[in-house]
Amino acid sequence: MSAKLIDGKKVAELIRSQVRDDVNEWVGSGNRRPFLQVVQIGTDPGSTTYIRAKTRACEDVGINTGTNRLPDTVSAKELKRIIRDYNQNDEMDGILVQLPLPNHLSSHDVIESIDYRKDIDGFHPMNVGRLAVDQPSYRSCTPAGIFELFRHYSIQVKSKHAVVVGASNIVGSPMAIMLSRENSTGKATTTICHKFTRDLTQHTISADILVVAAGQPGLIKGEMVKEGAVVIDVGINRVADETSKKGYKLVGDCEFESVMEKASWITPVPGGVGPMTVAMLMKNTLLAAKKSIYPDG
């Protein structure tokens, strides 16, 4: 078998054009234009690239946005004071603090200081907790985007064996919750693997749906994948490449050529999951502006 490609770039553009139409309608009916406040701490080049993609997407769909760039020496107290101001600012619908943070700041404390009603990343324990009990919540953008891909390509999740490799708070964990819950998206039998898993292949080989978010280039090889599996590669790794102008290229967590031979569907890197994450952030920001998840807030 040679896998068919899941075109995240195309599906993300469909979602963005839907959000653009919805924003136009929202503003056309006399409402304030949605606003996303971004906070960058330090000058990590990866974070700068992601923030640029997010703010460009905002401009593209008609969401207003501002980025507050703080030095990597900012104290927890000062950062939380700034976030408190944003929480109380009725003109700001969503607040996004780009991760990772410098070592002296606790991401848990910072995330919890964001008003959960403005947590368009879906990282606040209130949103993660509500997700875990099937209550409306902001959903972490990458897993939510993967479910949009399943929907677009009519990939059935119900009753399948889904294996998630990687248990991060941003992707693996919420992905496993969404796959396993008995709500409209989930109903899969779900296994979570992580760096302490013994014999990873024993698990991956039985996956009908394999979601890999481990941050390790080439971790998953063709021999670890069941014939006909759907493979979602969330990894975005920079590896040295002298033939490229930048000196590096982006690769996923799967050995693309060998996995392609086994899978029925596969997401490429780049152009698979990445664009979906940004599109879902636009969707969440619009939900925040409309107060769709927390109407009384």
Contact pattern from residue 95 through residue 114 relative to ligand GUN, giving x for each residue in contact according to CB under 6 A and a dash for the rest: -xxxx---------------
Tell me if residue 121 is catalytic: yes
- Residue 70 binds ligand GUN, judged by CB under 6 A: no
Q: How far is the CB of 47 from ligand GUN (least distance, A)?
A: 7
Angstrom distance (rounded) from CA 93 to CA 290: 9
Q: Catalytic residue, from 37, 40, 98, 226: name it.
A: 98
- Residue 22 binds ligand GUN, judged by CB under 6 A: no
Among 22, 93, 121, 208, binds ligand GUN (CB under 6 A): 121
**Opening angle at CA 171, ends 175 and 167, nearest 5:** 85
Q: Where are the alpha helices (DSSP H) in 62-122?
A: 76-88, 107-113
75, 174, 182, 152 alpha-carbon torsion, rounded to 10°: 120
Angstrom distance (rounded) from CA 30 to CA 139: 27
Tell me if residue 283 is catalytic: no
Question: Tokens 């940004």 label which residue?
Answer: 278
Q: For residue 183, which phi and psi values (nearest 5 degrees)? A: -95, -165
The single-letter DSSP state of residue 5 is E
Q: Would you say 112 or 264 has its CB closer to ligand GUN?
A: 112
- Residue 185 binds ligand GUN, judged by CB under 6 A: no
Q: Catalytic residue, from 37, 40, 54, 118: name it.
A: 54
Among 57, 79, 95, 141, binds ligand GUN (CB under 6 A): 141
Residues making contact with ligand GUN (CB under 6 A): 96-99, 121, 141, 170, 277
Which residues are catalytic, by number? 54, 98, 121
